Amino acid sequence: MHLEKITQAIAILKEFKIDMWLIFVRETETLPDPSLDLLTGINCTWQSAFILTATGRTLAIVGSLDQERLRTAGLFQEIRTYIGDIKPVLRAVLEEINPGTIAINYSPNDYMADGLTHGMYELLMRYTADTPFQQRFISAEKVVAALRGRKSASELALIKKAVTITEKILQSASHFIRPGRSEKEVAEFILRAVKKRGLTTAWETSTCPAVFTGPASAGAHADPTSRLIEKGHVLNIDFGVKYSGYCADLQRTWYILKDNETSPPEPVVTGFNVLLESVNLALQAVKPGKKGCEVDALARGHIVARGYPEYPHGLGHQVGRSTHDGAGMLGPRWERYGSSIELPLEVGQVYTIEPRLPIAGHGVATVEEMVVVTPNGYEFLSHPQRQIYLIR
């Protein structure tokens, strides 16, 4: 997989007419650069430079004690080492290749392309002082966005497997959910199912799964509590597993029937149907070239037009090796999203579609589906929830 992504990265450099991509890191166990994990899956201790070029040349400069691990991985054509000082080796390589443009990992818009720490940036400037290379540094933002976003067939297969397992665990949770059990108990049931399969959750276990029941729940981004499930509650779960390094991220919603009910009350049915309508409207716009803000506006506008407050987040984000995989997203033109919502959708990108709305007196309704952008539109990676699930 790592060689596959390195090959893809070289093609992206050539496409964007960028001569070199330089990933400059140290102590990556503690301060990881997301791009290094994508390309190598290897940690390094000393100051290290990982270099890809548009000509296809790949080279790594690492401390002597990191050499063997990298050599065994067989990912780079050349490995150069040092003991006391990386500067002369790094400068020699730059002078030898003499790139016209050098992409480095900083970005105000995409956190996945912002792996170069400020300290390492200062060192890089010190090491390249009095050279022409300082004027050739550019942001690697669009390289990282393309590399993370354009999923290969191998990556999609792993994401689909993660989605399938996540769906099976959520289905089993339906049989465990009942009045009198707490949010924490439901979360613990799901975590036991994850552990039984020898897997990990897609994000930290304190909020994966996130479980919210009733009108007094936090509704998002909070730990499960001792709050009890009650009849008449709307309950939702946000959850995903990580499988072979790739994530799933799904949300599902249930209604807990009261003793005299055979179906949910009208406000619950209407609210959930409006939610599904907003998903379908957004999906009609998912296609290559469409801006993320344009997709979000369709779902957001429909929910607001039906009398519900707009959801306080973006409609969807990319998923891959991380649940929030950076770069383009489906969201409104809010300052916090920067230019990410203006980026056009590309074939191979995997997005969530996750609107939400409150149903007064019952709770918060959400669904979160996962789709991959195809040449003509989209394809579901999840099996979409078509109606609210009932607990009798």
Residues 116 and 180 in one domain: no
In the predicted model, is pLDDT for residue 211 greater than 90? yes
Residues 87 and 221 in one domain: no
User: At residue 132, what is the residue type?
Assistant: P
Residues 231 and 331 in one domain: yes
Range of the domain at 130: 2-148
Residues 159 and 71 in one domain: no
In the predicted model, is pLDDT for residue 250 greater than 90? yes
pLDDT at 218: 87
Distance CA 47, CA 235 (A): 49
Distance CA 163, CA 353 (A): 14
**CATH number, domain containing residue 328:** 3.90.230.10
pLDDT at 174: 96
Query: Are 73 and 149 contacting, i.e. CB atoms less than 8 angstroms apart?
Result: no
Q: Average pLDDT, stretch 302-315?
A: 97
Residues 270 and 362 in one domain: yes
Q: Which two tokens stand for residue 295?
A: 């997709």
Q: Please, which residues bridge with residue 241 across strands? A: 201
**CATH number, domain containing residue 110:** 3.40.350.10
Residues 158 and 141 in one domain: no
Query: Are 75 and 39 contacting, i.e. CB atoms less than 8 angstroms apart?
Result: yes
Query: Where does a domain end: 115, 148, 181?
Result: 148
pLDDT per residue over 131-161, tens digit each? Answer: 999 999 999 999 999 999 999 999 999 999 9
Residues 279 and 225 in one domain: yes
Query: Where does a domain end: 148, 170, 203?
Result: 148
Residues 72 and 216 in one domain: no
pLDDT per residue over 165-207, tens digit each? Answer: 999 999 999 999 999 999 999 999 999 999 999 999 999 999 9
Looking at the structure of the chain, the number of domains it has is: 2
- The reported pTM is 0.94
Residues 26 and 66 in one domain: yes
Residues 88 and 236 in one domain: no
Handedness of CA 100, 106, 107, 112 (dihedral sign): positive
pLDDT at 219: 81
Query: Where does a domain end: 93, 121, 148?
Result: 148
pLDDT per residue over 319-369, tens digit each? Answer: 999 999 988 999 999 999 999 999 999 999 999 999 999 999 999 999 999
Residues 367 and 237 in one domain: yes
pLDDT per residue over 5-24, tens digit each? Answer: 999 999 999 999 999 999 99
Residues 176 and 132 in one domain: no
pLDDT at 351: 98
